[in-house]
Amino acid sequence: MDDLMVRGVAAGGLIRACAAVTTGLVEEARVRHKTEPTATAALGRVLTGAALLTSGLKEHDTVTLRVLGDGPLGAIVATADAHGNIRGYVQNPEINLPPAGPGKLDVGLAVGKNGFLHITKDLGLKEPYTGSVPLRTGEIGDDLAAYFLVSEQVPSAVNLGVLVNPDGTVQSSGGYLIQLMPGVKDEQIEEIENIIYSLQPISTLVSLGWGPRRILEEILGHLDFKQLEETELRFNCKCSRERLETVLISLGKEEIESILALEGEAEVKCHFCGEVYRFNRHELEKIKEAAVSLK
């Protein structure tokens, strides 16, 4: 199944919803960052959450989701754009904790409950907008739901899940976001809650072959769900040799001279995708000249 996000409405537009299958991009993130199972599950949830947050973004808009808890994983960061390009990393990818129960990786403990969830939206204005909420559980989905309620005053159901195989590879990954606008009836809310509680975990549904549209129709089909948009998703980083060269130039002449004296070359790794760029002595000399000319 290809990675895909579907966005739609129900109840005459009073309910906004989106769902995503992210198995492929989470597996690519696992390979790139060499994550252990607990780290894979946490990073996968954040990557999926970032994908869901792109619903409604325009052409050049981007959103960044940062989860900064006091658990051993450290920072988890993902950024996504309106075209389905998603990238992200976890600070300590080697973390793997004992399971919290049968088939349940302990993401909450690995993330930690003390800390903050930050969402930054760059909508092409003078300054990006950032909203933050304290972490509630560290499970990511619950924390995102708290963000929508506190920061945007929109009651929301957020479900994120990653199923990891015994060999550490990603079997399935996905999530959904259901948002209630003013005017939704109490009985409609109760019906939605009952359906959600009756469903198997989202990662299980994806492993069974459920796509995002089927997930949303299962939850909202009785309220006349209508699909509005479908977006292909992929792990895709904006890094390039030229961008990393700019980073080296920003270090300044003295720092580059120190690298030349001690190492003779430089190796720069992109946090978001793990790609490594190497610069030899000749290239560093040219970069040093560029740094001097900036002064």
Same domain, 24 and 126: yes
Alpha helix (H) residue ranges in the chain: 23-33, 37-53, 107-111, 141-151, 186-198, 202-207, 212-220, 241-250, 253-262, 281-294
- C-beta neighbour count of 120 within 10 angstroms: 15
Question: Is residue 43 domain-shared with residue 188, that is, in the same domain?
Answer: yes
Backbone angles phi, psi at 199, to 5 degrees: -75, 150
Weakly modelled stretches of the chain, pLDDT under 50? none
Q: Please give the model's pTM, rounded to 2 decimal places.
A: 0.92
Pair (279, 206) in one structural domain = no
Structure tokens at 250: 């920003």
Q: Which range of residues forms the domain containing residue 102?
A: 4-235
Alpha helices in 6-103 (DSSP H): 23-33, 37-53
Tell whether 192 and 164 lie within a shared domain: yes
pLDDT number for residue 23 = 98
Domain limit, last residue, from 210, 235, 260: 235
Q: How many domains does the chain have?
A: 2
Q: What is the DSSP string of 198-249?
A: HSPPHHHHHHTT--HHHHHHHHHGGGT-EEEEEEE-EE-----HHHHHHHHH
Instruction: Pick the last residue of a domain from 194, 210, 235.
Output: 235
Residue 73 sits in the same domain as residue 211: yes
Note the pLDDT of residue 55: 84
Q: Are both 256 and 179 inside the same structural domain?
A: no
d(CA 120, CA 131): 7
Angle, CA 105 vertex, CA 104 and CA 106 arms, to 5°: 110
Give yes or no: residues 270 and 202 share one domain.
Answer: no
CATH number of the domain that residue 81 is part of: 3.55.30.10
Residues 95 and 123 in one domain: yes
Instruction: Using alpha carbons, select from 92, 79, 107 the residue that is nearest to residue 235.
Output: 79
Report pLDDT for 254. 87
Which token pair is 19? 């769902």
Structure confidence at residue 128 (pLDDT): 87
Q: Is 248 found in the same domain as 227? A: no
What are the two backbone dihedrals, phi and then psi, of residue 6, each rounded to the nearest 5 degrees?
-120, 135
Residue 266, pLDDT score: 87
